[in-house]
Amino acid sequence: MSLFITGTDTGVGKTHIAARLLHLLRASGIRCAGMKPICCGDRRDAEMLLAAGSDCVAIDEVNPVWLKTPAAPIVGTLMEKVTIDIEQILSAFHALQERVEYVIVEGTGGWLVPIRSDYFVSDLAVAMKLPVLVVAQNRLGCLNHAALTVQSVCAYRLRCAGLVLNSTEVASDIAILTNADILKRILNVPLLAGLGENLTELPMDWRLMLDRLHNHRVKVIQGCKEIEHNSGESAPRPLGEGDGIGVA
């Protein structure tokens, strides 16, 4: 099974969440790998994912495209006069899927960061057919950014697995104190707490989220097999984890 992690913005804690999820999955005995399809600037995010996952992969498998320009991918390609090969990224992703039980894919920046003028991070998630976990920073402005991102994920007909509310500040102002409650009121997706360094196993809400994704995938595959059996013809390839609109 696989999961695509995106953010409401850059710097909201996607890499931390992805690495902690990998660490806790691995601690439970699950073979897993992280993937950062495109790195811009340095490779620190990919190196963190590599260190957190199982030992069977190399850095170039975790990060198949490395742009040296510390800006959006479209800027890097223009500055460095290169073209990003989406098929190369997808091939690397499918190769990882064959080798581990879980692939945790971390997108570059936010959900609508452009990779090229006609292709965005969101399009890559669609091509991978993955459910999407949105990460937001608990701060003023979070409500708007989280709602826009979750709604956009659903508009792309991808399954939104949940929203992670990262907290790095002491809850001292009214926005930080009330964001979680308001998000539960306005969004119909699971709200998950961040994965702190003190955790030794996945919290129950995270395990339930992953179980829902697994069960949904099983139902989709079974449905396709039934269609194939009843029709006597090959059923369309299942959309897998990315099937359906909206909520987990």
Q: Report yes or no: 93 and 65 within 8 Å, Cβ to Cβ.
A: no
Active site residues: 36
Asked if 111 contacts 158 with a C-beta cutoff of 8 angstroms, the reply is no
Q: Residue 169: which pLDDT band, with cuts at 50, 70 and 90?
A: low
Is the dihedral angle over the CA atoms 104, 110, 115, 120 positive or is it negative? positive
CB neighbour list of residue 15: distance below 8 Å, 6 or more residues apart: 36, 45, 48, 49, 106
User: pTM, whole model, 2 decimals?
Assistant: 0.88
User: Where exactly are the structural domains of the chain?
Assistant: 2-242
14 three-state secondary structure: helix
Tens digit of each residue's pLDDT (9 = 90 or more) over 129-142:
999 999 999 999 99
Q: Which amino acid is at 130?
A: L
Taking residues 94-103, report their average pLDDT: 96
Q: What angle do CA 20, 202, 126 make, to 5 degrees?
A: 65
CATH fold of 2-242, please?
Rossmann fold (3.40.50)
According to the model, what pLDDT value does residue 246 have?
41
